[in-house]
Amino acid sequence: MTDVARLRESDAALQPELVALRRALHQEPEIGMELPLTQAKVLAALEGLPLTITLGKQLSSVTAVLHGAKPGPAVLLRGDMDALPVQEAEGLEYASRIPGAMHACGHDLHTAGLVGAARLLCGLREELAGSVVFMFQPAEEGEGGARVMVEEGVLDAAGERVVAGYALHVAASVLPNGWAATRPGPVMAAADVLRVTMHGRGGHGSSPHLALDPVPAACEAVIALQTMVTRRFDAFDPVVVTVGTFHAGTANNVIPDDAVFSATIRSFSPQSRALVHTEAVRVVRGIAEAHGLAVDAVIEEGYPVTVNDAGEAGFAAETARRVLGADRYIEMPHAVAGSEDFAVVGELVPSAYLMLGACPPGRDLFTAPYNHSPEAAFDDSVLADAAALLAGLALGRLAR
């Protein structure tokens, strides 16, 4: 029996156990760095396996290492564990019991899938030529848990630096259920924040000539940033600038002292990322100066571009075809403007990041609520696929 056939046979047997774990995680979602309930569930699910386990110091992470019976390199598999501050809208029987918290991005499936991969690979330990590091990560949703885990040594947890890293992410729509997708090169965007405060001089709304109004200047800056995107950047190496907050004033007849706005900035290459940081600040400062205003304009750096190593992406695509079937793999036509802190791993070791469709049956693939929506839903049936795909990536890479 081939390794793939054995994986699929074993993961089918694991499916009920993984569904139970995923639903338990879904009912008690936790946000950020501290996930004690989630950590406890992961540890319970790994109990009895031949793993060396280390817990995080600055966050509720779990790093589990499987040393194969044969010598070889080490590879890393990542599953993020944190939820979002979203109130769940779906009336699922296993819906979140925590007000204002929900696994709206499917990280409960990632965690259960990685547990499944660990169980599958432990069953093949005698044949394993090398080690596998299972990275159960908190705080993917904006707080940078991957960087903290890297600082605490996750890449070297097997006793040597891992030679490759792999992660997958479920999608609540767009990608057909059980289908995998990836691509070489940029696969997810960098995400940064522009924060701007225009400082003017307040006054009466009837006499703007006696004040120094920051509102028109701030409005002009918002529009100018959109024009900048279309004039200063290659359409084939795009950036996205979206102003999400704008605050000024307290009454309709009062000119405020300040106008404040913030924007998310997405980019797909280090070159465009550096340029948009410079250009966005330059545009805002130029407009402020033209209006005689002082301005604070700062960039807060978030996650870098998630870049798939070309060789690892090709290997991941071939593994998906073998594990899931050739008819359940498609190459992504372009990168996605979402961001992902697995990018931190990808900057340090050759890596591949895949998407896995998890749209529930009965929902229209193109109109179903996407990840982060309070109505987002993910189908449990892909848990065995996730476990087998992650395990297959580790097996295949160590067999090279």
Residues annotated as catalytic (active site), given as ranges: 82, 140
- CB neighbours of 340 closer than 8 A, spacing ≥ 6? 140, 169, 188, 303, 306, 353
Q: Are strands 254-255 and 258-267 parallel, antiparallel or unpaired?
A: unpaired
- Spatial separation of the C-alpha atoms in residues 164 and 142, rounded to whole Å: 24
Cα(215)–Cα(367) distance, rounded to whole angstroms? 38
Residue 166: C-alpha distances to residues 105, 306, 309, 394, 397 (Å): 18, 12, 11, 8, 10
Tokens representing residue 18 in the block: 């993984």
Distance from C-alpha of 38 to C-alpha of 166, rounded to nearest angstrom = 21
Q: Are 110 and 81 in contact (CB under 8 A)?
A: yes
The residue among 396, 400, 398 whose CA lies nearest residue 158 is 398
Q: Hey, how many other C-beta atoms are within 10 angstroms of the C-beta on 292?
A: 10
User: Tokens at residue 287, please?
Assistant: 């407009």
Going 34 to 36 to 38 to 44, the CA torsion angle's sign is positive
What span, in angstroms and rounded, lies between the C-alpha atoms of 212 and 153? 53
CA distance 307 to 353: 8
Query: Which of 21, 79, 25 lies closest to 389, judged by CA?
Result: 79
Give the strand pairing for 306-308 and 185-188.
antiparallel
| Cα distances (Å, whole numbers) of residue 180 to 91, 242, 320, 330 | 28, 29, 7, 7
Main-chain phi, psi angles of 380, to 5 degrees: -60, -25
Instruction: Give bridge partners of residue 354 from the DSSP assignment.
Output: 168
Q: Which ranges of the chain would DSSP assign to H, the alpha helix?
A: 3-27, 36-46, 107-122, 145-151, 214-232, 270-290, 310-324, 343-348, 383-398
